[in-house]
Amino acid sequence: MARLLSFIAALGCMVGLSAQPASASDLQTIGELHPPVVASLGDQKITVFFLKNNLKGQVGGVHVPDAEIFYAPMNAVKPSLNYVWKVEGEQIASVFFFERKFPERAGKSMFVLTKHKVSHSHFEGDSYSVLELPLFKDGDHLSLQFFRGDPPDPELQNCRDGLNLEDDVEVECAYKDAASIKKRLADLDAKMIANSKLGQGNRQKTLQADGDAASDSCPSTDFSTFLSAFSERADLQKAFVQQPLKMLTTVAGDPEPEMEKRSVSGDQIKFPIIPDRVKREADGLTLTVKEERGNNATAILQKPDTDYVFEYQFVRGQCWRLAKVSDFSL
């Protein structure tokens, strides 16, 4: 732990580096927004740090988050401090854990409930938002990550608690503590499981009625028909993905966001790549054919009025195959 604290102290020195010698009166560039939290999965544990940026408001021309989240493995031979994601909120009201049971999203996540003051001509009070950070275990390595693939529940974002000044009505946020949020997550999880079972039953009836043969047979050379089947069945996605699969992801850049390119194959590809209709409807997502030209076609998955956008590029041989996935979400 002493080595880890030395690492953090060194990081603070690098961030606050200047041409002038530091003095006791200098403002520390890094503070603590919330006490460290220990996260565990099985026998693996990490320590999560919530480091506040004390220079917020003193830098112009760029956005500076209120804080940033890091984690460090416990009892590691070689200490490391790993960046997770930013915190947009003046206060962390609660940090808690919840484990989903729905197969396609099963797993344990850490949830961070933030709170900040809202004061303008229409509203006076507080706003609460929830950030989900999944825990991943790879062998002996445990990590905490931010994944943009699953849009957050809108009811858990910007939930206001205070006074509506236009009509002088008290507004109460139903999700401003860990207990109420966990109940909401459990209800959503149960609903998704029930809808999935119903959808699977309907799909099985449809497949039997159509006399569908082997799971890896080409659903159709007509792209719209193929996409409908491909998006509903994980086994078809596994059968009709070109490997290695090209992946493009939007990452922060200076001065503009950049596209990170990589190729994945085998266990590196996480299925389902495209969520099924039940999941899309639950999350408010739409899947449409953007373009079809000869042996190339593009489908787009998006959430209207948000920056959540995924593009899927397919190529046709004897059947259509997914060749490239682009995540344009910011």
Residue 297's SS3 state is strand
Interval 260-288 mean pLDDT: 91
Q: Each residue of 52-107: pLDDT tens digit? A: 988 777 777 788 888 999 999 998 888 899 999 999 888 999 999 999 888 777 88
Within 13 Å of residue 129, how many CA atoms lie on the same side as its CB?
Answer: 14
CA–CA dist 68, 55 (Å, integer): 13
Q: Exposure of 156 by Cβ count < 10 A (0-12 exposed, 13-18 middle, 19+ buried)?
A: buried
Q: How many CB atoms lie within 10 A of CB 324?
A: 17
Tell me which residue of 192, 180, 38 sits closest to 100, measured CA to CA: 192
Pick the residue with more confidence: 16 or 145? 145
* Residues facing residue 85 across a β-bridge: 69
Q: Where are the alpha helices (DSSP H) in 211-320?
A: 223-232, 234-239, 277-283
Q: With cut-offs at 50, 70 and 90, classify the pLDDT of residue 199.
A: low
State yes or no: pLDDT of 114 exceeds 90: yes
pLDDT > 70 fraction of the chain, expressed in percent and rounded? 83
Q: With cut-offs at 50, 70 and 90, classify the pLDDT of residue 246.
A: very high
- The pLDDT of residue 198 is 73
* Residues facing residue 259 across a β-bridge: 250
pTM: 0.56
Pick the residue with more confidence: 152 or 39? 39
- DSSP code of residue 28: P
Interstrand relation of 141-144 and 82-87 (parallel, antiparallel or unpaired): unpaired
Residue indicated by tokens 């049971």:
101
Q: With cut-offs at 50, 70 and 90, classify the pLDDT of residue 2.
A: very low
Domain range summary for the chain, segments of one domain joined by +: 2-17+25-187, 218-327
State yes or no: pLDDT of 21 exceeds 80: no
Sheet containing 258-264: which strands, arranged edge to edge?
258-264, 241-251, 320-327, 309-316, 296-302, 286-293
Residue 195's SS3 state is helix
Tell me which residue of 223, 82, 211 sits closest to 142, measured CA to CA: 82
- Tokens at residue 265, please? 């194959």
- Tokens at residue 37, please? 């939290």
- Contacts of residue 37, defined as CB under 8 A and 6 or more positions apart, other chains included, come to 47, 48, 50, 95, 110
207 close to 233: Cβ distance less than 8 angstroms: no
Tell me which residue of 321, 270, 130, 101 sits closest to 191, measured CA to CA: 101
- Tokens at residue 325, please? 């996935």
Interval 284-294 mean pLDDT: 93
Architecture of domain 218-327: Roll (3.10)
CA–CA dist 108, 85 (Å, integer): 17
Q: Each residue of 203-227: pLDDT tens digit? A: 555 545 444 444 468 999 999 999 9
If you average pLDDT over every residue of the chain, what do you get? 83
Q: With cut-offs at 50, 70 and 90, classify the pLDDT of residue 19.
A: very low
Residue 191 parent element (H or E)? helix 178-210
State yes or no: pLDDT of 11 exceeds 80: no
Q: What's the N-to-C CA distance of the chain in angstroms?
A: 35
- The pLDDT of residue 155 is 87
- Contacts of residue 209, defined as CB under 8 A and 6 or more positions apart, other chains included, come to none
Residue 269's SS3 state is coil
